[in-house]
Amino acid sequence: MPELIAAFCRLLREHRLRPAQYARIKDDLLADLADALICDTSLQVVQKTVQALEARRLRAMDAIHVAAASVCGAEVFVSADTRQCAAARDLGLKVVGV
């Protein structure tokens, strides 16, 4: 969520989004958050993160996302990042690439 908001803030600063568009996108994201699975960064998440980083070439935040989904028992993992999708599959997650 913070990464998405940061990206949309950048687009707003670059005048590629109008303030009303930004507000609508942010409201939609916050509404979607009600259906999201929120997972604390527990020791188990950290351990799975290390496992994912050692097994695959990933950015740290991508590895955290995959590990958290695995630990929290996510029904599906959705990403446009092929490396992140591969790491999610390695941890036994059902993956939907976009």
**pLDDT at res. 38:** 80
Within a domain: residue 38?
no
In a domain, 68, yes or no: yes
Full 3-state SS string of the chain: CHHHHHHHHHHHHCCCCCHHHHHHHHHHHHHHHCCCCCCCCCHHHHHHHHHHHHHCCCCHHHHHHHHHHHHCCCCCEEECCHHHHHHHHHCCCCEEEC
Question: pLDDT tens track of the chain, all 98 residues?
Answer: 788 899 999 999 999 999 999 999 999 999 988 877 788 889 999 999 999 999 999 999 999 999 999 999 998 999 999 999 999 999 999 999 88
- pTM for the model: 0.70
Same domain, 7 and 26: yes
Q: Does residue 58 lie within any of the structural domains?
A: yes
Same-domain status, 47 and 78 = yes
Write out the residue range of the structural domain in which residue 62 sits: 43-97
pLDDT of residue 39: 82
The answer to whether residue 24 is domain-embedded is yes
Domains in the chain, number: 2
